[in-house]
Amino acid sequence: MALIQISEPGQSTKPHERKLAVGIDLGTTNSLVAAVRSGQAATLADEKGEHLLPSVVYYAKDKTRLVGKEARQHQISDPLNTISSVKRYMGRTLDDIKAKEPSLHYNFIQTDSTVPRIKTQAGEVSAIEVSAEILSVLKKRAELTLGDELTGVVITVPAYFDDAQRQATKDAGTLAGLNVLRLINEPTAAAVAYGLDKSSDGVIAVYDLGGGTFDISILRVTQGVFEVLATAGDTALGGDDFDHVIANWIKQQLGLDNSDKSLNNQVLGAACQAKQTLTTEQLANIEIEHNGIKATVELSLEQLNTLIDPLIKKTLMPCRRALRDAQIELDEVKAVVMVGGSTRVPRVRDRVGDYFKQPPMIDINPDTVVAIGAAIQADVLVGNKADSDLLLLDVVPLSLGLETMGDLVEKIIPRNTTIPVTRAQDFTTYKDGQTAMSIHVVQGERELVSDCRSLGRFSLKGIPPLVAGSARIRVTFEVDADGLLHVSAREETTGIESGIEVKPSYGLTDTEIEKMLLDSMEHAEEDIAARMLHEQQVEADRVLEALAAALDDDGDMLSTEERQSIDTAAENLAKLKTGNDDRAIKQAMQELDKVAEVFVSRRMDSNIRKAMAGHNVDEFNAQD
């Protein structure tokens, strides 16, 4: 009788058993979760068979939260406590949001942090917390469907998302209890879903028009590796804007008041429904009830096209810009992939096809294509497929650098740099005759060493005793595929070398990384000011030290009045450099340079005469 192997709960009995991983498309209007099962990637449905989860969260008085369709039902009756399209606010300051939306849809509150919060009857929430509520529902759906806890998740983001937006997305995942394996660009995920990474090499355009955002990405595929050549778009342009244009038309036709928020939301919902109807029909009947009176209006497909044409045109301008930036001609684009629910609109498909001079790819549901691509990549990341199937590279989570004079950080490898990576930079000595250098490796986004995390220190000894600034020390940072950092320093003339190996992320939780990044955003302006001040103070010290040495050697070249002028300017600089005004320090250095100009000139002439003593000009010409 054969033995049956029994494993501990949660542990695989066989090395080939699959780990559970999913891909999540965290969308502006709708969100989805997908997984690879039996070799096929597909989106996962809830208990009612619904795949799309509306990206809407309702905050009730009793502090309960509703997510999805249940939440969307409150948009008309309670719009201020029903948060939708929150993706627009991810990683954005209140000033950023106001610039895009002069009339804010919610009660935003500016806090001590740069992260704005939205006031609801259940308390104040940030865009990160709202997104975490959506992700939590998708996580629960995945675990119920797959029957076990998730090993990890890949979340997609627009290609144009900057560091702050990407970090906010990752923070939302962490807050939802997800192990975020990777954030990947939505256009890359869409191309993977179509299998374009396995087809012949070439240029792909990914046109992504979602509910609230638009982006166009130009990708080049070379042997299964994606390279983003250029991206453009608009973070505040999408299907929601189609709805608003239709809603305004409805209100004009029916003579409705714009000031009634509840009515506006009802009209907006009717506009969205009409848009969806006209994806397959020629005519949509719209019914609005206001003050007990029902009013109806008809919207034709032709009228819809007229209304939305200006918005579609706005999406084509970034397409031109992206192609120009990528230095790609239209006839070089071999495929156009359509992504996002708003690309269901026939007029959008027609206009995009006309522009790129080829029918766009619409074989996969545009709502699900991104989530499916993310699921395929998640499946690879957890080890369910051979590494050769898809190459995915990690990134440095926080910048790596070293301490320079004045408590300043010189960043060698910026955060989000793909690893493995090697970067080198040359440094020099600060003082005359310096024979050793202490190298302090730090991690973080702040400008001052005291605000960053220390990773380690090592010394480089045996530097030739040269004049300050003459020695050349090359410091090399190398991060391998496992995230191990090796820092080495080499003095170029002697070849002496020293180094240290550290684990950049060791001991840092995601919460600590989040805090360091939030701190860097919150203190950005004061950090820049502090860096400028410290740089001027270091330069002032160098100038004063060099001047003191020169006066000791050749002070007798100066008259009493000249010496007094230089001493006065030096004393003024020494006094100002202890203050907090970098401009005053810079001005004082300029004044000292001016009064010491005669002294510098005399010393230079004297040194030239000494060097030429016993020689004539013809000898130097002969050497040339």
Tens-place pLDDT, residues 123-149: 889 899 999 999 999 999 999 999 888
Cis peptide upstream of residue 79 (ω within 30 degrees of 0): no
Has residue 16 got a pLDDT over 50? no
* 1 domain residue, yes or no: no
Q: Which domain holds residue 448?
A: 400-507
- Is 480 known to be catalytic? no
State the catalytic residue, choosing from 208, 367, 379, 491.
208
pLDDT bin (cut points 50, 70, 90) of residue 304 is very high
Mean pLDDT within 445-468: 80
Q: For residue 198, is pLDDT > 80?
A: no
What is the sign, positive or negative, of the torsion defined by CA atoms of 565, 567, 569, 575? negative
Neighbours of 357 (CB within 10 A): 10
Q: Is residue 391 part of a domain?
A: no
Task: Note the pLDDT tens digit of each residue in 555-611.
Answer: 788 888 888 888 888 888 888 877 877 788 888 888 888 888 877 777 777 777 766
What is the pLDDT averaged over residues 102-114?
A: 76
pLDDT given at position 511: 52
pLDDT at position 345 is 93
Are residue 258 and residue 206 in the same domain, yes or no? yes
| Residue 622 forms part of a structural domain | no
Write down the catalytic residue from 25, 171, 197, 451: 25
439 pLDDT above the threshold of 80: yes
- Same domain for 181 and 262, yes or no, is no
Distance CA 122, CA 151 (A): 32
**pLDDT at position 466, please?**
81
Across the chain, mean pLDDT equals 81
Lowest-confidence pick of 309-318, 411-420, 460-469? 411-420
Q: Looking at the structure, do residues 204 and 343 belong to the same domain, yes or no?
A: yes
For residues 514 and 174, the answer to whether their CB atoms sit within 8 Å is yes
Concatenated DSSP letters of 116-141: -EEEETTEEEEHHHHHHHHHHHHHHH
Percent of the chain predicted with pLDDT > 70? 83
Both 36 and 174 in one domain: the answer is yes
Q: What pLDDT shows up at residue 469?
A: 77
pLDDT more than 90, % of the chain: 27
Quote the pLDDT of residue 527.
Answer: 60
186 belongs to the catalytic site: yes
- The mean pLDDT of 485-499, rounded to a whole number, is 83
- Which pLDDT score is estimated for 419? 65
Q: Is residue 517 one of the residues assigned to a domain?
A: no
Q: Indicate if 162 belongs to the active site.
A: no
Same domain, 80 and 135: yes
Same domain, residue pair 291 and 406:
no
Check whether 386 has a pLDDT greater than 70: no
The per-residue pLDDT for 229 is 78
Between the alpha carbon of residue 573 and those of residues 274, 529, 582, 591, the distances in Å are 72, 19, 11, 9
Q: DSSP assignment of 68-83, as one string?
A: THHHHTTTTT-GGGEE
Q: For residue 612, what pLDDT is reported?
A: 64
Q: Residue 180's closest CA among 190, 194, 166, 193?
A: 166
**458 in a structural domain:** yes
For residue 37, is it within any domain? Answer: yes
Which residue out of 186, 215, 367, 445 is catalytically annotated? 186
Asked if residue 406 is part of any domain, the answer here is yes
pLDDT bin (cut points 50, 70, 90) of residue 237 is: confident
Task: Give the span between the Cα atoms of 620 and 617, in whole angstroms.
Answer: 5
Give the pLDDT confidence of 34-88 residue by residue, as tens digits.
Answer: 999 888 899 999 999 999 999 999 999 888 899 999 999 898 888 899 999 898 8
Query: Could you tell me if 404 and 535 lie in one domain?
Result: no
Does the annotation count 25 as an active-site position?
yes
Specify the pLDDT at position 473.
86
Looking at the fold, whether 181 and 204 belong to one and the same domain comes out as no
Please report the DSSP string for 354-391 in residue order: HHHTSPPB-SS-TTTHHHHHHHHHHHHHTTSS-GGG--
Residue 168 covered by a domain: yes
Q: Where among 507, 538, 570 does a domain terminate?
A: 507
Task: State how many domains the chain has.
Answer: 4
Give me the CATH number covering residue 473: 2.60.34.10
Q: Does one domain contain both 53 and 118?
A: yes
Report the CATH number at residue 541. 1.20.1270.10
pLDDT tens-digit readout, 217-231:
888 887 766 777 787
> Which pLDDT belongs to residue 139?
95
The answer on 214 and 187 residing in a single domain is no
Residues 238 and 179 in one domain: no
The pLDDT, as a whole number, for residue 240 is 86
Identify whether residues 21 and 153 lie together within a single domain: yes
Choice among 344-353, 448-457, 567-576 with the minimum mean pLDDT: 448-457
Write down the catalytic residue from 87, 139, 275, 411.
87
Per-residue model confidence as pLDDT tens digits over 279-302: 999 999 998 887 778 888 999 999
